[in-house]
Amino acid sequence: MTNRRNFLRTTGGMLGAAVVSKAAMGAVPEAALQTSPQTQPPLEPSNGRPYQPVVTLNGWTLPWRMNNGWKEFHLVAEPVVRELAPGMKTHLWGYNGQSPGPTLECVEGDKVRIFVTNKLPEATSIHWHGIILPNGMDGVSGLTQPHIPVGKTFVYEFVMGKSGSFMYHPHADEMVQMAMGMMGSIVVHPKNPKFMPVDRDFVFLLSAFMIEPGAYTPKVAEMLDFNLWTFNSRVFPGIDAMPVRLGDRVRVRIGNLTMTNHPLHIHGHHMEVTCTDGGWVPKSARWPETTIDIGVGQVRSFEFVADNPGDWPLHCHKSHHTMNAMGHNVPTMIGVDHRGIAEKIMKLVPDYMVMGERGMSDMSEMEMPLPENTLPMMTGKGPFGPIEMGGMFTVFKIRDGLARNDYKDPGWYKHPQGTVSYEWTGAPLATERAPAQAVSAPKAREFRAVKPSGHSGH
Ligand SMILES: [Cu+2]
């Protein structure tokens, strides 16, 4: 996929090996590589302080090595191919084979040394978003350091001072490099593993792309009109489900590197924001929510107790953000009877299809020829039929009896008898409506202002 002759590789199957030990002391550590877009199992720490590792949704954690008390990571900025969902591959820029890059996991107080090698066609740098560090390690090219030229490796050294969830992204030609998918998560675990413990801990980033139907590369100059809204550069149905054991305390850490806010909504549970990228929220300051708005450049971590079994969505509540590539100039055709017109057009264009006359649900089932490398607008199949979603949508699969570290998809929920919405098959229900008023002219029907009758006649 990419030219990486200078680096030894680890493959997806070898990621359990946490220590990159082959590189000689004093040399640059190996750059681990991941090409699978599937969620990788948590990377148990094999050295340093213990912690409960996170699971990166449709991603992975970067292995490290210990070197004289320093935790050493190696990030490689490079062009990557990312599958957004089965049926669509995109040409992005990322780190170590994927966009977003791997999650960096540390413990409060860790001394980290991060090697950053630039294999992009232009200069770059990395900003450690939310981490408090010496100014010269902040990664702002031109301001706090020279750009990392093409082909060169720079070293960042600092202490991960405060536990929480953070991000990393370029601070060089940011508009292009972030629009091309360059970003990653940083999780710093508390020194005391008993502080705010959870059973399942997920992390992912929000990003957005404008990729014209049939194209492979995002339009980097786009500002508002994105058509693919992603969790970790994946769209539903390509976003993995989050399996959760009944009764687990669950934490989800979400960072937003798009150009708009995203109100993330969960079903079946109440959650509380327990951490921001500024720090932990004191218990007395939390309140229950079902939707939390994640602003641009923010990280929010929420927690809930998974006490309600089932398949429960987690999705952005901006409805356009749960769609895949859609044309934004589609007129609303609801209620328009265009049977006669369709017949005439079909004489000229035999494949012509009329859309939207009864809503857009047809889109999720229709076998319409799409341009190559383009996903249907609404998709995903559930146990009861089409789910009619895309973009920022996934499901917590809360089940009794999962093993502690079991992240395998348990399949669809089997509802206990009598707990699923059902069709009314009894006698037709009489509908009482207000009696229609006799109105003579149609124009009077649409805009009728009724003035309050005053008492002036008395
Ligand atoms: Cu959204």
Helix (H) or strand (E) holding 314: strand 310-316
- The Cβ of residue 276 has, within 10 Å, a number of other Cβ atoms equal to 16
CA of 43 to the centre of ligand 1 (A): 29
CA of 154 to the centre of ligand 1 (A): 35
Q: Is the pLDDT of residue 157 over 70?
A: yes
pLDDT for position 431: 76
CA of 115 to the centre of ligand 1 (A): 33
Q: Is the pLDDT of residue 395 over 80?
A: yes
CA of 269 to the centre of ligand 1 (A): 20
Q: Is the pLDDT of residue 403 over 90?
A: yes
Q: Which two tokens stand for residue 112?
A: 């980290």
Q: Is the pLDDT of residue 29 over 70?
A: yes
Q: Of all residues in the chain, what percent carry a pLDDT higher than 70?
A: 82
Contact 35, 58 (CB under 8 A): no
Strand partners, 357: 359
Q: Which two tokens stand for residue 122?
A: 């232009």
CB within 8 A of 90, min separation 6: which ones? 81, 82, 83, 84, 181, 209, 211, 216, 217, 218
Average pLDDT, the chain: 87
The single residue listed with the structure tokens 């600092």 is 158
Q: Is the pLDDT of residue 278 over 50?
A: yes
pLDDT for position 400: 95
Work out the average pLDDT over 101-113. 97
Cα 245-203-191 angle, rounded to 5 deg? 90
Q: For residues 85 and 180, what is the distance between their CA atoms, to the nearest angstrom?
A: 17
CB within 8 A of 14, min separation 6: which ones? none
Q: 315 in helix, strand or coil?
A: strand
CA of 76 to the centre of ligand 1 (A): 29
81: left (phi > 0), else alpha (psi -120 to 50), else beta?
A: beta
The single residue listed with the structure tokens 């920022």 is 392
Q: Is the pLDDT of residue 268 over 70?
A: yes
Q: Is the pLDDT of residue 154 over 80?
A: yes
Q: 245 in helix, strand or coil?
A: strand
Give per-residue pLDDT as tens, 288-344. Answer: 999 999 999 999 999 999 999 999 999 999 999 998 876 666 667 677 776 676 677
pLDDT for position 91: 97
Q: Is the pLDDT of residue 437 over 70?
A: no
pLDDT for position 350: 67
CA of 393 to the centre of ligand 1 (A): 10
Q: Which two tokens stand for residue 440?
A: 């003579």
Of residues 342 and 386, more confidence is placed in 386
CA of 443 to the centre of ligand 1 (A): 40
Strand partners, 252: 202, 302
Query: Which of the four pLDDT bands, split at 50, 70 and 90, describes residue 213?
Result: confident
Q: Is the pLDDT of residue 3 over 50?
A: no
HSE-CB of 50 using CA atoms within 13 angstroms: 4
Q: 351 in helix, strand or coil?
A: coil
Give the chain's count of helices (H) and strands (E): 3, 23
CB within 8 A of 187, min separation 6: which ones? 54, 103, 104, 105, 106, 165, 166, 201, 203, 253
CB within 8 A of 76, min separation 6: which ones? 4, 7, 31, 95, 96, 116, 117, 119
CA of 213 to the centre of ligand 1 (A): 20
Of residues 225 and 267, more confidence is placed in 267
Q: Is the pLDDT of residue 243 over 70?
A: yes
Q: For residues 362 and 346, what is the distance between their CA atoms, to the nearest angstrom?
A: 19
Q: For residues 96 and 108, what is the distance between their CA atoms, to the nearest angstrom?
A: 25
pLDDT for position 353: 58
Work out the average pLDDT over 60-65. 97
Give per-residue pLDDT as tens, 245-256. Answer: 999 999 999 999
DSSP string, 92-161: EEEETTBSS-PBEEEETT-EEEEEEEE-SSS-B--EEET----GGGS--BTTTB--B-TT-EEEEEEE--
Strand partners, 408: none
Look up residue 240 and give its DSSP letter.
P
CA of 208 to the centre of ligand 1 (A): 9
CA of 445 to the centre of ligand 1 (A): 38
User: Which residues surround the ion ligand 1 when the cut-off is CB under 5 Å?
Assistant: 262, 316, 318, 321
Query: Which of the four pLDDT bands, split at 50, 70 and 90, describes residue 438?
Result: low
Distances 334 to 168, 359, 360 between C-alpha atoms, Å? 45, 6, 9
Strand partners, 202: 55, 252
Q: Of all residues in the chain, what percent carry a pLDDT higher than 90?
A: 70
Work out the average pLDDT over 38-54. 93
CA of 243 to the centre of ligand 1 (A): 22
Give per-residue pLDDT as tens, 350-368. Answer: 666 555 666 766 655 555 6
Check whether the bond before 282 is cis (ω within 30° of 0).
Answer: no
